[in-house]
Amino acid sequence: MVIEQAKMQSLASRMVEHEVKGRSPWADARKRFVRNKAAMAGLVILILVALFALFGAHFAAWSNEELDYNVMGQVRELGMPSIASGHYFGTDDLGRDVYARTVQGTGISLMVGIVGAAIAVIVGTLYGATAGYVGGRTDQIMMRTVDILMSIPYMFVLILLLVIFGRSIGMLFLGIGLISWLDMSRIVRGQTLTLKNREYIEAARATGVPSWKIVLRHIVPNLLGVVAVYATLLVPLMILTESFISFLGLGVQEPLTSWGALISEGAGTMNYGTLWQLAFPLFFFCITLFGFFFVGDGLRDALDPKDR
């Protein structure tokens, strides 16, 4: 049998040169995400807003607590946004710099959103994965508890908590964290139920891996996609909740501020013609929510290719 030596040689060398590179599901997802224009625009907006919150204070001519006595009483005429006076976004009715306050409010609102979502991710994932994996009566009891907690009008209970234990930012974090994980635990449980009969889980169980280790090592990593999507969509909801409470004056207290508090102040002084006080915080609030929604939708499309 004559084999064309030269041809085989060239084929072999070609195969060595052009080794087919495997793609992980995550790399595929990244590619789909990058191709999604709305999601990329959302990501860019979010990065810009985060940079604004982190470094915006360095460019402020006024601190967030200073009162500009020159404009007091004539905010409508002198407190306009202008580069010359250093009040890039104008001043509020007390003569405080709206730019500096917006930077501060952006930071606090983003922090509340991210911390709230982080609590939801940690508590909700562990709770849901445990309930789904253990199953049986434990699962029944755990999910009934979630059902009961979900049927409570949480905004009212949250306000109750804030009034009783003091209106501090710590309490706000705790209160938002207490309610945010409920949905997450349901989603994670549903996903765990489909995962737990896979072969690799069976293999792990057969080799005697303890249950808690199976949950942490094998179930939780495979939930990451769902959790990431839901967490991105949860952040804007947390920001909305915090803003709602701060709008009522029950959330973040002075001298701290947040988007909700700034929008509330701006809405209150709109009659006097100082529209910039409403417009700038509202602008940052809206574009950030847009950003999170777009990125969340993009992540969902990227990680769940069958759903389109």
d(CA 235, CA 218): 26
Is the sign of the CA dihedral 172, 224, 227, 231 positive or negative? positive
Separation between Cα atoms, residue 250 and residue 115, nearest integer Å: 19
Cβ proximity to another protein, 27 vs 270, nearer residue? 270
What is the rounded distance in angstroms from the CA atom of residue 110 to the CA atom of residue 8?
A: 61
| Segment holding 12, helix H or strand E | helix 5-17
**Applying CB under 8 A, which residues contact another protein?**
144, 147-148, 151-153, 155-157, 159-165, 240, 243-244, 247-250, 260, 263-264, 266-267, 270-271, 275, 278, 282, 285-286, 289-290, 293
For another protein, which is the closer residue by CB, 24 or 151?
A: 151
Q: Which residues of 232-247 are buried (b: 16+ CB within 10 A; e: fewer)?
A: bbbbbbbbbbbbebbb
Least distance CB 205 / another protein (angstroms)? 31
91: helix, strand or coil: strand
Instruction: Give me the least distance between CB of 187 and another protein, in Å please.
Output: 15
- The residue (of 104 and 243) whose beta carbon lies closer to another protein is 243
Which C-beta is closer to another protein: that of 33 or that of 290? 290
Neighbours of 78 (CB within 10 A): 17
CB of 275 to another protein, least distance (A): 8
Q: How far is the CB of 38 from another protein (least distance, A)?
A: 9
Closest of 259, 253, 301 to residue 42, by C-alpha: 301
Q: Which is nearer to another protein, 118 or 240 (CB)?
A: 240
The upper half-sphere exposure of residue 115, i.e. CA atoms within 13 Å in the direction of its Cβ, equals 18
Question: Quick one: 85 or 288, whose CB is closer to another protein?
Answer: 288
The phi and psi torsions of 97 (rounded to 5 degrees) equal -75, 120
Rounded CA Rg of the chain = 26
- When the beta carbons of 58 and 308 are compared against another protein, the nearer one is 308
Q: Can you name the residues that pair with 97 across neighbouring β-strands? A: 91
Sign of the alpha-carbon torsion through 183, 185, 191, 193: negative
Determine the Cα–Cα distance for residues 252 and 169; give it in Å rounded to an integer: 6
Quick one: 78 or 282, whose CB is closer to another protein? 282
80 vs 282 by CB, closer to another protein = 282
CB of 184 to another protein, least distance (A): 15
Give the nearest distance from C-beta 244 to another protein in angstroms: 6
Question: Nearest distance from residue 227's CB to another protein, in Å?
Answer: 21
Q: Which uninterrupted H or E stretch holds 226? A: helix 220-247
For residue 91, the cross-strand partners are 97
Q: How far is the CB of 87 from another protein (least distance, A)?
A: 21
Q: How far is the CB of 25 from another protein (least distance, A)?
A: 25
